[in-house]
A and B are shown apart, each in its own frame.
Chain A
Amino acid sequence: MQEKLTTAEKRVPLTRVPAGKKVKVTELPMGGGSRGRLAGMGIVPGVEIKLILAHPLKGPIVVELDGNTVAIGHNLARRIMVDEQ
């Protein structure tokens, strides 16, 4: 990604986002069925999601979107890049 980030934005993996923060999804891992399943739930680059809770011990990351709660496995969340605002 060669976009210019504004100073207020920081691109990080979803696993590094603190609870309660709203972030914009920028990159999803390529290939595999998970990209499709995320897309089916509306989690595609460009969408805003809110991080609810990161379960300890590399557990799932719980996010919220349009009032739906979705938990994303740590291994997948690690490869989802988001912009913190």
Chain B
Amino acid sequence: MKIVLVGQHNSGKSMVFSRLTGIDTIVSNYSGTSVEITQGMMKVNGLSFELLDTPGIYSLAWADGPSDLTRRAIMDLRDDDLIINVVDAGNLVRNLALTLELLELNLPMIVLLNQVDVAQSHHLVIDHQKLSEYLGVPVIPFSAQTGEGVADLHAVISKGSRLQPGSSPRRFLITSDMAACPCSPNCSGCPMGETASCSEQPVLDYYQQARCLAKQVILRSDNRPRGLQVLQDFLDKTRMGSLALLLLGLLGFYLLLSFIGWSEEVIVSLFAPIQDLIARIISTIVPSGFWHTVLSKGISEGIVVPFSLVMPAMLMVSFLISIIEDIGLLPRYAVLLDRVGNLFGVSGQAVIPLSLGFGCRTPAVVATRILGSEGQRFIVIALLSIVIPCAGTIGMLSSTIVAFDAYVPVIILSMLAVFLLLGWVLKKLYGENEDRIYELPPLRMPQAANVAKKIRLRFQGFFTEVLPLLLVLSVAVRIIIESGVLNRLHNLGSLTYTLFGLPPEAVIGVLLTIIQRYLAPLVILNLSLDPRQATIAITMIALSVPCLPVVVMTIREMGVKAVVKIVGVGFAVSLSIGFILNLVLPAIGG
């Protein structure tokens, strides 16, 4: 027997999935967190069941994008499989509309009245027994947060009876509750649905019935706004709210940058004795000479650089993004930035993958699935790959900027200009005037445990990927520098100086970005560049081709052709920006 979790967007399926299987999944407070089906095992009284977590779905009739995966998973179910319909107790009408639709499939089903703990704190009381009678399937009050209802669910599953819907609920409602319903589901007789087309008529019916049903099973509710609701009303319903969001965003960026600057100093000083120790150990093992220099410099840089430059940025960005996600602010920023998105032919929704990209671009590429079309996804992935600096990159870039006293405004302005220009060009090529719809979920207090889990999931790449890679490459870079290979490039010097005003070694550093963008500064830091040269080199690094993990992910998501295009554009952008800056920079004041 297979069990599938099905529910409306943001009803808490992934949280239920985590609770039932013990598998860590990323949960957030916005529609479209899950874009894939996740598989797990659920144990009930010693028996194992396969449990599927699916992307949210509004209605089986209107499933597109990730929701279509859900629709197909449901269509694949056999008669002995089970649907667990996750219903958000705080959003009963919309959730029950889907429940009514699912019941028509006549498959065994259990309704989980999820987030009852939240509902109770809002003084919302739902008669679940009455709801169960109306629907003809078991209804279990549940909280993925506290674990309430897990035992009840296990008991119902192991009993196995009464899961099959007894009678079609539509018929049931029509015959027994006509008086309570303001609308009959019959097209011609319905005064409210007279202009609905035939395919939408069922939706109108489900919603009308869900409204009736909700009215009958909600025993007590208190709509007075309090706590977070007050804040939410301010953010969503007033113009000052938009301003507040904007200021909050700026404050977040300011906090991030000052944290990175502050932590670097602290960590570097903390690591000084460790570096000494490493140097001494290497001195005792390796006699002085070529390898001694390579190892002592390479290893100590390879350890300090990731910890002092990459780690703080990765941690802080993971923290900020997790908090913003969990409170439910991301969709609000999407609304705020909708007008900016119009410039690029993408929806404000693009703010979600783009802001995730400031953490790490690899998962951000996957998150582009919430966008409406392939064209939009390509635009956003291209912008992500070429322009958006990830946490690691931000750390490396800012340290390089400080080391060479490079011109920060020039770098930031170049990045902004490329972002706008590239976005505009991509819009002309791939953009479409797609219609935008944003759901604004209720604000929630972020849960410390969940935030910690997300930071851990986002940060674990540091030890498995960033640290080893930087260590190995730091030694490799040292070998190249100490071997004097770079000196032999000097006959290329005239070419690179004419084009970019840079020594050939720096151009090699730029080319290294293909492996991982934050590696390139390793080379740059070992060169002697003047501020103007450093500015050009750093800008070229900041605006270039995607790193390897992003390339791999993009092939998976969009195919090889898209990656070839993006890498091509990335090279072109990087070389052009270097060329242009070399032409204009002296005029500005270099």
Binding site for B on A (CB under 8 A): 1, 3, 26-27, 29, 32-34, 36-42, 44-47, 52-53, 55-60, 62, 66-73, 75-76
Nearest B-chain residue to A41, judged by Cβ: B58
What 0/1 pattern do residues 196 to 208 of B give for CB contact below 8 A with A? 1100100110010
- What chain B residues lie within 8 Å of A60 (beta carbons)? 335, 338, 348, 436, 438
Report A55 CB to chain B, min CB distance, Å: 7
A53–B190 Cα distance when bound, in Å, is 30
Query: With A41-B58, A62-B237, A66-B93 given, is the CB distance from A32 to B339 under 8 Å?
Result: no
Q: Report the nearest A residue to B191, measured CB to CB.
A: A46
Quick check: is B236 within 8 A (CB to CB) of the other chain? yes
B269 at the interface (CB under 8 A from A): no
15 contacts between A and B (CB under 8 A): A1-B195, A33-B64, A33-B372, A34-B435, A36-B64, A38-B437, A39-B200, A40-B62, A44-B207, A46-B190, A55-B335, A62-B237, A66-B207, A67-B91, A73-B348
In chain B, residues 88-128, which have Cβ atoms closer than 8 Å to a Cβ of chain A? 91, 93-94, 97
Closest B residue to A34 by beta carbon equals B435
Task: Answer yes or no: B242 CB below 8 A from chain A CBs.
Answer: yes
Contact (A59, B97) CB under 8 Å given A1-B195, A53-B238: no
Q: Which residue of A lies closest to B58 (CB)?
A: A40
Which of A44, A57, A76 interacts with B437 by CB under 8 Å? A76
Question: Does the CB pair A32–B64 fall under 8 Å?
Answer: no
Known: A42-B97, A42-B207. A75 touches B433 (CB 8 A): yes
Q: Is the CB–CB distance between A42 and B93 below 8 Å?
A: yes
How far, in whole Å, are A25 and B281 apart by their CA atoms in the complex? 76
B192 on the interface (CB 8 Å rule)? Answer: yes
Taking a contact as CB atoms closer than 8 A, the residue among B197, B242, B347 that contacts A55 in the complex is B242
The answer on a CB contact under 8 Å between A40 and B200 is no
A72 proximity list for chain B (CB < 8 A):
435-438
- Taking a contact as CB atoms closer than 8 A, the residue among B97, B196, B236, B335 that contacts A45 in the complex is B196
Q: Are A73 and B200 interface neighbours, CB within 8 A?
A: no
Asked if B439 is an interface residue, CB under 8 A from chain A, the answer is: yes
Q: What is the interface size of chain B, counting residues whose CB is below 8 A from a CB of the partner?
A: 42
A76 and B203 within 8 A (CB): no
Q: Are the CB atoms of B347 and A73 closer together than 8 Å?
A: yes
- Least CB distance from B554 to A in Å reads 24
Give 20 new A-B contacts, CB below 8 A, not counting A37-B62, A41-B94, A76-B435. A3-B194, A38-B437, A39-B200, A42-B94, A42-B203, A44-B204, A45-B196, A45-B204, A47-B204, A55-B242, A57-B339, A59-B338, A59-B339, A60-B335, A62-B335, A66-B93, A67-B93, A73-B348, A73-B436, A76-B436
| Minimal Cβ-Cβ distance residue in B for A73 | B436
Report how far A41 CA is from B157 CA in the complex, Å: 31
- The interface residues of chain A lying within 8 Å CB-to-CB of B439 are 41, 68-71
B242, A27: Cβ atoms closer than 8 Å: no
A36 to B384, CA, bound (A): 29
B515 at the interface (CB under 8 A from A): no
In the complex, A15→B35 CA distance in Å? 32
- Chain B residue numbers with a CB within 8 Å of A1 are 195
B226 within 8 A of A: no
Q: Closest CB-CB distance, B348 to chain A, in whole Å?
A: 7
A44 near B200: Cβ-Cβ < 8 Å: yes
Sorted from nearest, which 6 A-B pairs have the closest CB atoms? Answer: A40-B58, A73-B436, A36-B62, A76-B435, A34-B435, A66-B93
B153–chain A nearest beta-carbon distance, Å: 26
Asked if B59 is an interface residue, CB under 8 A from chain A, the answer is: yes
Residues of the A chain whose Cβ atoms lie less than 8 Å from the Cβ of B57: 40
Interface centre among A29, A59, A73 (most CB of B within 10 A): A73
Residues from chain A with a CB closer than 8 A to the CB of B93 are 42, 66-67
By CB atoms of chain A within 10 A, which of B197, B335, B434 has the most?
B335
Q: Within 8 Å CB of B207, what residues of A?
A: 42, 44, 47, 66
Question: Contact between B437 and A71 (Cβ–Cβ < 8 Å)?
Answer: yes
Once A40-B203, A44-B204, A73-B338 are accepted as A-B contacts, the answer to whether A68 and B436 lie under 8 Å apart by CB is no
Instruction: Report how far A34 CA is from B190 CA in the complex, Å.
Output: 25
Question: Complex formed: what's the CA distance from A46 to B201 in Å?
Answer: 10
Q: Which residue of B lies closest to A30 (CB)?
A: B197
* Cβ of B223 to closest chain A Cβ, rounded Å: 8
Any A CB within 8 A of the CB of B193? yes
> Is B239 an interface residue when CB atoms closer than 8 A count as contact?
yes
Across the interface, which residues of B come within 8 angstroms of A26, CB to CB? Answer: 195
Residues of chain B lying within 8 A (CB to CB) of residue A59: 335, 338-339
Binary contact readout B398-442 vs A (1 if CB under 8 angstroms, 0 otherwise) = 000000000000000000000000000000000001111111100
Cβ of B211 within 8 Å of any chain A Cβ, yes or no, is yes
* Contact (A47, B192) CB under 8 Å given A33-B64, A75-B435: yes
Q: How far is the CA of A62 from the CA of B236 in the complex (A)?
A: 8
Per the 8 Å Cβ criterion, residues 298-337 of B in contact with A are 335
Nearest-Cβ distance from residue B59 to partner chain A, whole angstroms = 5
CB distance from B222 to the nearest CB of A (A): 13
Given the known interface contacts A40-B62, A55-B242, the answer about A46 and B94 at a Cβ–Cβ threshold of 8 Å is: no
Chain B min CB distance to A66 (Å)? 4
Q: A60-B338, A67-B93, A70-B437 are in contact. Are A39 and B59 (CB under 8 A)?
A: yes
Chain A proximity mask over B428-462: 1 for CB below 8 Å, otherwise 0: 00000111111110000000000000000000000
